[in-house]
Amino acid sequence: MSNEINKINDEALDQVVGGVKRTVNTGTSQNAAVRAGAGKGYAVIDSLPNGTNVNATGRFRQADGRSWAQIDYPIDGWIAASILGFDR
């Protein structure tokens, strides 16, 4: 993402109440899948590139042998918790 888009996103994220700011890091060049629910059985509703700042709500679920974290910014959905640096 461009620096200008990151700045706009960071300003918007600063207005989100609750949760914790995290940064997407897949460890590869692939984008992170955001799913409709916690688990691979749920539809992918969007994807986020590395470096995208998100707001993690603090809700976690276990499914498919991994932990999933709910996010509510910049999109509502679920993402593998490890991609956000959570060791759960």
For residues 33-62, give the mean pLDDT.
96
Confidence of residue 7 (pLDDT cuts 50, 70, 90): low
d(C-alpha 48, C-alpha 64), whole Å? 21
DSSP string, 7-42: HHHHHHHTT--SSEEEE---SSSSPEEEESSSSTTS
CATH number for the domain harbouring residue 54: 2.30.30.40
**Section 44-59 average pLDDT:** 95
Q: Give 67-84 pLDDT, tens digit per residue.
A: 999 999 999 999 999 999
Structurally, the chain folds into a number of domains equal to 1
Compute the C-alpha angle 73/45/67, nearest 5°: 70
Encode pLDDT of 18-42 as tens digits.
Answer: 788 999 999 999 999 999 999 999 9
Please say if the pLDDT value at position 65 is more than 80.
Answer: yes
Domain membership of residue 52 as a residue range? 3-84
* Share above pLDDT 70 across residues of the chain, in percent, rounded to a whole number: 80
